[in-house]
Amino acid sequence: MFYRALDDLWCATVTYKVSPNNATWSCCQAVEKVMKGLLNLYDLNDEYTHELGELLRDVEKKNTLSEETVENINIMRRYGNRLRYKNMPTDPTVEDAFNLIKRTQQIVDEFANIKKCALEFQEARDVHNKILKEAKV
């Protein structure tokens, strides 16, 4: 899950200028996968949900997250629901997508530093970086 989260974040980073909508979706996916990755390490990811608020609730049962991360996840939650249910008044702008990438990176970084998943996250980063290097991206 951590590798997939990194991949989603990378996709958002390289596409946000031409497809802010898809980049925003990729950010939401990255956040979902990071939380599910941690919950899997606790054997707590029995529910099949895409709702970031529910995942956040479960994560906070085992970890204390910074206020910034909680706020960023809640912002991502609003975007995720709007994109999933197509009820956004307008599509995300390039600026919206860029700001969400920064928020997603902050969330990913905090999860990467949680003791329970630090090793697995570093392994995912190593694999991700190796693949990008071999692809000469």
Q: CA 76 → CA 16, 43, 91, 108, 125, distances in Å?
A: 15, 24, 14, 13, 22
Cα–Cα distance between 66 and 127 in angstroms, integer? 27
Judge whether 103 and 72 are in contact, CB under 8 Å: yes
Q: Give 97-120 as a 3 state SS string.
A: HHHHHHHHHHHHHHHHCCCCCHHH
pLDDT in tens, 34-75: 999 999 998 876 667 788 989 999 999 999 999 999 999 999
Superfamily of domain 2-134: Nucleotidyltransferases  domain 2 (1.20.120.330)
pLDDT in tens, 105-128: 999 999 999 999 999 999 999 999
In the chain, where the domains are located: 2-134
